[in-house]
A and B are shown apart, each in its own frame.
Chain A
Amino acid sequence: MNAITLQDVNVFLSGSHVLQGVSFEVPSNKVTALLGRNGVGKTTTLRAIMGLIPSTGNIGLFDKSISGMPTYKIAQSGIGYVPEDRDIFSTLTVAENLSLAVRDADPNYDLVYSLFPELSQRGSQRAGTLSGGQQQMVAIARSLLNKNHIILIDEPTKGLAPKLVGEVAEALSKVASETTMLLVEQNLALVKSVAEHIVVMAQGKVIFQGEPSNLEDDAFVHSMLGVSGGLH
Chain B
Amino acid sequence: MDTFILITITGIGLGALFFLVASGLSLIYGLMGVLNFAHGTFLVVGAFSGLWISTKVFATANTWTFLGAMVFGGIAGGIFALIVERLVITRLYERHIEQALVTVGVALVAGATLSGWFGNDPRLLPTPHWFINTVTVGKAFVPVDRFLYIGASIVLYIVLASILRFTRIGLIIRAGVENRAMVGALGINVRLAFSAVFFMGGFAAGLGGVLVGAYQNGVTPLMSGSWLIYGFIVVVVGGMGSLGGSALAALLIGVVDQFTNYYMPGLGDFVIVFLLAAVLLTRPQGLLGKVGR
Residues of A within 8 A of B (CB): 50, 52, 70-72, 75-76, 81, 83, 87, 89-92, 96, 99-101, 103, 142, 146
Instruction: Give the Cβ gap from B272 to chain A, nearest Cβ, in Å.
Output: 30
The 3 residue pairs across chains A and B that have the minimum distance between CB atoms? A75-B187, A71-B184, A87-B182
Write out, one digit per residue, whether chain B residues 144-167 have a CB within 8 A of any chain A CB (1) or not (0). Answer: 000000000000000000000000
Whether A100 contacts B184 in the complex (CB less than 8 A), given A72-B189, A90-B178, comes out as no
Complex Cα spacing A75 to B171, Å:
18
> What residues on B are CB-neighbors of A89 within 8 Å?
174-175, 178-179, 182
Collect the chain A residues with CB atoms within 8 Å of residue B183's CB.
100
Q: Which residues of B contact A91 (CB under 8 A)?
A: 174, 178
Q: How far is the CA of A72 from the CA of B180 in the complex (A)?
A: 11
| Cβ A75 vs Cβ B184 within 8 A | yes
- Per-position contact with A for B185-200: 1 when CB-CB < 8 Å, else 0? 1111110000000000
Cα A91 to Cα B170 in complex, Å, equals 13
Cβ of B124 < 8 Å from any Cβ of A? no
In the assembled complex, B181 has its CB within 8 A of some CB on chain A: yes
Q: List 26 A-B contacts (CB under 8 A).
A: A50-B185, A52-B184, A52-B185, A71-B181, A71-B184, A71-B185, A72-B188, A72-B189, A72-B190, A75-B185, A75-B187, A75-B188, A87-B179, A87-B185, A89-B179, A89-B182, A90-B178, A92-B178, A96-B171, A96-B175, A99-B171, A100-B171, A103-B186, A103-B187, A142-B186, A146-B187
In-complex Cβ contact of B188 among A50, A83, A100 (8 A): A100
CB distance from B223 to the nearest CB of A (A): 35
Verify A83–B182 contact, CB threshold 8 A: yes
Q: What number of A-B contacts does a CB cutoff of 8 Å give?
A: 56
Q: Give complex CA distance A188, B172 in Å.
A: 37
| Residue from B175, B179, B187 in contact with A72 in the complex, judged by beta carbons closer than 8 Å | B187
Q: How long is the Cα–Cα vector from A91 to B181 in the complex, in angstroms?
A: 16
Chain B residues with a Cβ closer than 8 Å to the other chain, count:
16
Whole-angstrom CA separation of A101 from B175 in the bound complex: 11
**Residue ID in chain A nearest B172 by CB atoms:** A100
Partner of A76, one of B171, B172, B187: B187
Which residues of chain B have C-beta atoms less than 8 A from A103's C-beta? 186-187
Say whether B187 contacts A83, CB under 8 Å.
no
Instruction: Report the Cα distance A50→B183, complex, angstroms.
Output: 12
Q: Which residue of B lies closest to A148 (CB)?
A: B187
| Complex contact A101–B186 (CB within 8 A) | yes
Q: Which residues of A contact B184 (CB under 8 A)?
A: 52, 70-72, 75
Query: If A76-B187, A142-B186 touch, does A52 touch B181 (CB 8 Å cutoff)?
Result: yes
Contact with A along B228-243 (1 / 0, CB 8 A): 0000000000000000
Contact B185 A100 (CB under 8 A): no
A87 / chain B contacts, CB cutoff of 8 Å = 179, 181-182, 185
A90 to B175, CA, bound (A): 9
If A52-B181, A71-B181, A87-B182 touch, whether A92 touches B187 (CB-CB below 8 Å) is no
Task: Return A61 CB to nearest CB of chain B, in Å.
Answer: 13
Question: A92 vs B183: C-alpha distance in the bound complex, in angstroms?
Answer: 13
C-alpha spacing A87/B190, complex, angstroms: 16
